[in-house]
Amino acid sequence: MLSGKTILITGGTGSFGKKMVEVILARYRPEKLIIFSRDELKQYDMSQKWSAEKYPCMRYFLGDVRDKDRLVRAFHGVDYIIHAAALKQVPAAEYNPAEFIKTNVNGAMNVIDAAIDRNVKKVVALSTDKACNPANLYGATKLCSDKLFLAASVYGGQDGTVFSVVRYGNVVGSRGSVIPFFTKEAAKGVLPITDVRMTRFWITLDQAADFVLKALALSKGSEVFVPKIPSMKITDLAKAIAPECEHKIVGIRPGEKIHETLVAEDEGRNTVEYRECFVVRHNFLPGDQKNGKRCVEGFKYTSDNNTLHIGIEELRLVLARMSAEEGVAAGNHWRMEDLARG
């Protein structure tokens, strides 16, 4: 699908963007693979690994999703867009709400308008579990972004750009992940725990990239794709990383939840379950349930009611594999069951 095509990744210098570049270059032969981001140093660092000399398809485009004119210029000739650009830190959002709205909400609208104007074939936007029943400003901006992308397929016309959303939980080992934080704090002999009841969804970067590519291929417009991924207790993760450390309860931070949600109960009535994922549609069309099963009234998908769980021993295996496989080229992808054995 992507060979011979032009693909653009907004926020492409982040953890997800770099993994996506790795995967696309390993699997396909794109005409162009464009990294659109605002950080010139990160683009320079990426260009040292994926240089235009070695990878003639690579392009590095400086710009900000807040700047619609720059997006219109960057989207010229683009077939597919993966929209990963966002401000993401929950505490920073509480203190700087206007900045998050400018990037996550206004930026999403700019991406939509520019994609329609440039006749882009498909756009997949990355969302987060925090967009479901949001308890913080970051989640609220991502909920607004999701709504914009879900409405955009209609806004773009019947034969226009196809817009869809991929929603998943915390990415293991990504920038801002609790794993490097716990690893660093373990040297002090004490790990800070917000709440012993806390659970989270987890997905690896490899799985996230693979799932986004599947959504890009299968999307028809106005869908939210939610992968079936395991969840875990934060205390189990702490024990897996540093079993010798004491735990200090520090309390839940502003805007934080005890459990996360990937499909809210109000969305459950419009959700179809498939073997690997759930698909949320706001307006069902004939054929939407093909090969899938309509979820029952009251269905919800949360990190505490998830039937897929990772225990301490499984977590240690995952962490060991992360350490052993760090830097390995794309193609050796973990299977979903590797994180949900038993």
Catalytic residues: 130
First-to-final CA distance of the chain: 34
What count of other Cβ atoms lies within 10 Å of the Cβ of residue 279?
A: 23
Tell me the C-alpha distance between 185 and 206, whole Å: 26
Q: What is the DSSP letter of 85?
A: -
Residue 30: which of 19, 21, 39 has the closest Cα?
A: 21
DSSP 118-173: TT-SEEEEE--GGGSS--SHHHHHHHHHHHHHHHHHHHT-TTS-EEEEE---EETT
Residue 66: which of 8, 17, 115, 109 has the closest Cα?
A: 109
Tell me the C-alpha distance between 70 and 118, whole Å: 12
